[in-house]
A and B are shown apart, each in its own frame.
Chain A
Amino acid sequence: MDNRLKRKGNSLAEIFIVVAIVLVVNLLAYKLLRYRVDFTENKMYTVSQATRNFLANLDAPLTIDFYMTGELPPQLASMRTEVRDRLGEFESLARGNLVIRYIDPKDDEELKQKAQEDGVPEVELEVREKDKRSTRKVFFGMVMSHLDRMESIPFVISTESLEYDVVSRLVRLTKDRKPVLGVFEGTFNANQQQGQPPEQTYNTLRQLLGGQEGQYEIKRIGGEEQVLPDDIDGIFLVGAFGLSDSMKYSIDQFLLGGGRAIIAIDPVMMLNQQGMENQAYPSLPTMEDQLEKYGIRFNKKMIADPVASETVMVPTNLFPVPMQYPLYVTIGPEGFNHDVPAVRNLEKLLMPMTCPLQEVETDGVTFQALANTSGNAFTMNSPFDVGIQQDWEYLATESESSGPYPVVAMVSGRFATAFPEGAPAPPAPRENEDGTMNPVVDPFAGHTHVSVGTEDANLIVLASARAMTDNLFKQAQTNALFASNIVDTQLLGDELLGIRSAPVTSRPIKADLTEAERNTWKWMNMAGVPALLVLFGLLLGFFRRAQRRLIEAKYGGV
């Protein structure tokens, strides 16, 4: 009796120990075991190193609430698994610091309202089922939250850029402070009268990036200041006209130290003088030589695209008439670089009065075209006729070359300085009205000149500052989206720059299958295999009986 109790006790203790060991080993493995192999054909779940680092280093919990209607239309149903898979991958990489909850609001009005308040609206989609067209309201977006901050993706359109879309928002959520963007506005306005507002204004851009809803703190640069402030995370120059030499040098040193910048320069200037209304010329040089040292050259010939261009309203004596304006070049979805997540899903970018950008071979620097014109584009020589009514077909035949031309490009790597002789000399002392001399202040006193980049820099160049103006943003809202994306890429740093777009291979089934063929395949699987199994069972039974009969015949019945 004692022995039995003892054995029972030992056995229970053993069970307890085994359960505890199994639990502890699994808990430890969850935190420490990192070995994973992606067997998918396109390495779909091989998350970029940048994302891995970001997720592994999360130190406070983040939550993603994915609002997903249970019954999704077929076009979204197949995407549902993919979205869940990718988010699941992020969750496992975050090791407990990312919690993903899938919520189907169904008929719960409270949940529906919460989703909409948090930025995920119920979207009405057209559904085609069995040759019938109908509409269905669905939720297919997510809300990301961290402490008291929130970001959302109202509707997931594709899974290709999901990694970028999700991580860019998570990065923003986890930043302790808003990144600071230095903005310089310097465009040449030939006709600007004193006291009059400039022709090209960028209020919408500033509002978009730094307003109440904006993600950045905007700091104006230039003016009295001769150097970039220390707390700047990135710079956005819309035009470089009026930028002082010392500020250009400061930008050079900023880039050599691994800085991130976006520089938009108008390659064309309009003089608008009497009798020359339709004449334009290559713009006065500002920073072009400097940019050439970093690997990008402006080829100041104006691009015209009679096919991919914007329609503008042309005033006539009676009423405005819509006309296509080939100098307002549009970039379509196929024109964007699909390897760069920031632009791969963009539908359109309007680039007015632009020119081709060219790569200048530079050691240690990589050139990538982000947006290209269509193949129908061609270039015009100076002086440019900017009139809308021209024989564009004839001009195309006269052109030296044809598209596609890069109009937005990115160079990254370690730049060499554009100022090999060091900082520019401080300005000469000026005499005050009272005859005293203004003391000379050297803004670079104590600064050690850097001639070769110490960190990888990243520079995006747009061959049109007009593309960022208020007027253009009104005309083409996609330009605003483009601006947000490239600023996100630049300012949120390495977390986003290294994110690749996950390749998705579509595997549609053959479209030419008849109903009879479909049914044949269906029934072959549903009934064919079980029928074969029944046959196998019967044969097995038959052979066993035959074997038994043989044994009985040989040895007699038992």
Chain B
Amino acid sequence: MNRISTVWDREFRAFWLSPIAYIIIIAFLALTNFLYFRTFFLEGQASLRVFFDFLPWTFMLILPALTMGQWAEERKTGTIEPLLTLPVTEWQVVLGKYLASVSLLACILLLTTPLVLTVSKLSTNGIDGGQTMMSYFGALLLGASYLAIGSWVSSFSDNQIVAFILSLAAIAVLLFVGLPFVTYFVEGGFSVFLRNLGLTTHYSSLGRGVLDMRDLLYFGSVIYLFTFLTTRMVESRKWS
């Protein structure tokens, strides 16, 4: 555990010292707030659903940017070699790095809470606290899944730009597969399978304010699977 926290500490600090992270976070905040306020006063309802509805798309753009260098940069600069010769196992390094990026994601989400306070303040009847809390939880799980995918893609690429594009593509596949415009063309049971394979189905379910164990299991599976694949990819360096 101590070793994981050491890796986490190194990675987390590195994020906050990088101007790229600031640019990405600021772009994210400006974009989501802009999109939200475009219709907020027009609809006249104190609901944060529109904000959370945009997150899968804005996350798709910013989170691969955070993970693109996670392994690709280490490989390019050659720092991966000394890192893996330290007395830590591959999975400890992978987990430490992954948890650092999830912590950064949590900070990003924390920076959106002024929006919640604003909406609550402008509402005549407050906001639905339970639903908002679950929406944040869903956003964290969705983002964590994106990060796991991004980390895996980064683990087999030497180029950050390639890692970014491939992450974006991989996330897009899991995002689009469950959307109505894809499932509409498929009949019956397979349509249900595709819907449940898609990230948005489970994210929307949590966003309603309902905690369903199946959604938790789904996100847990995605995160575990891609973290496992990342570990195997990192391990495979030893064989070459």
Beyond A525-B33, A530-B26, is A77–B211 a contact (Cβ under 8 Å)?
A: no
Cβ of A40 and Cβ of B209 under 8 Å apart? yes
- Give chain B interface residues in 86-117, CB to chain A under 8 Å: 111-112, 114-115
The segment from B64-72, B157-165, B182-190 found at the interface with A is B182-190
CB pair B188–A92 under 8 Å, yes or no, is no
Which residues 1-38 in B have Cβ within 8 Å of A in the complex?
A: 16-17, 19, 22, 25-26, 29-30, 33-34, 37
Known: A102-B180, A524-B118, A529-B29. A508 touches B209 (CB 8 A): no
* Contact among A44, A81, A525 with B49 in the assembled complex (CB-CB below 8 Å): A81
Chain A residues near B191 (CB-CB < 8 A): 99, 101
Interface residues of B, dominant DSSP: helix
B46, A45: Cβ atoms under 8 Å?
Answer: no
Closest to B128 in A: A41
Question: Which chain A residues numbered 290 to 309 have a C-beta less than 8 Å away from chain B?
Answer: none
- Name A510's contact: one of B29, B124, B208 (CB within 8 Å): B124
Chain A hits for B133, CB < 8 A: 39
Contact partner of A40 (CB less than 8 A), chosen from B42, B210, B232, is: B210
> Is there a chain A Cβ closer than 8 Å to B83's Cβ?
no
Is A175 in the interface zone, CB < 8 Å from B? no
Contact B122 A74 (CB under 8 A): no
A506, CB-defined interface residue at 8 Å:
yes
Q: Assess the B192–A29 pair: CB atoms within 8 A.
A: no
> Is B80 on the interface with A (CB-CB < 8 A)?
no
Contact A505 B125 (CB under 8 A): yes
Residues of chain B with a CB closer than 8 A to A511's CB: 124
Total A residues in contact with B, Cβ cutoff 8 Å: 62
- A38 within 8 Å of B by Cβ? yes
Contact code string A19-49 (vs B, CB < 8 Å = 1, else 0): 1001001100110010111111100110000
| Residues of chain A contacted by B217 (CB below 8 angstroms) | 25-26, 29, 33
**Given A78-B47, A509-B123, A38 contacting B209 (CB threshold 8 A):** yes
A533 to B26, Cβ gap below 8 A? yes
Check if A22 sits within 8 Å of B34, measured CB to CB: no
Kindly specify which of B55-63, B142-150, B218-226 makes contact with the partner chain: B218-226
**B39 proximal to A (CB < 8 A):** yes
Query: A11 within 8 Å of B by Cβ?
Result: yes
Contact of A96 among B37, B124, B192 (CB under 8 A): B192
One of A19, A33, A39 near B214 (C-beta < 8 A): A33
Interface flag for A114 (CB, 8 Å): no
Given A88-B205, A89-B208, A509-B45, verify A33-B213 contact (CB < 8 Å).
yes
- Digit string of A88-115 for contact with B (CB within 8 Å is 1, else 0)? 1100100010010111000000000000
CB-based contact B205/A534 at 8 Å: no
Please determine whether A25 and B30 come into contact, CB atoms closer than 8 angstroms: no
Does any Cβ of B come within 8 Å of A7's Cβ?
yes
- From A61, A103, A537, residue with most partner B Cβ within 10 Å: A537
B236 within 8 A of A: yes
Query: What residues of A have a CB within 8 angstroms of the CB of B124 in the complex?
Result: 507-511
B147-206 at interface with A (beta carbon < 8 Å) = 180, 183-184, 188-189, 191-192, 196, 204-205
A510 touches B123 (CB 8 A): yes
Which residues of A have CB within 8 Å of B129?
41
Tell me which residues across on chain B come within 8 A of A61, comparing CB atoms: 188-189
B229 on the A face (CB < 8 A): yes
Q: Which positions in A face B, CB cutoff 8 Å?
A: 4, 7-8, 11, 14-15, 18-19, 22, 25-26, 29-30, 33, 35-41, 44-45, 61, 74, 77-78, 81, 84-85, 88-89, 92, 96, 99, 101-103, 129, 505-511, 513, 518, 521-522, 524-530, 533-534, 537, 540, 544
Interchain residue pairs with CB less than 8 A apart (26)? A11-B235, A15-B228, A15-B232, A22-B221, A25-B217, A39-B130, A40-B210, A41-B128, A41-B129, A61-B189, A74-B44, A81-B53, A96-B189, A101-B183, A101-B191, A507-B127, A509-B44, A509-B46, A509-B122, A511-B124, A522-B40, A526-B37, A529-B111, A529-B112, A530-B26, A534-B22
Nearest 8 A/B pairs, CB to CB:
A39-B130, A40-B209, A507-B46, A530-B26, A526-B33, A35-B213, A507-B125, A37-B211
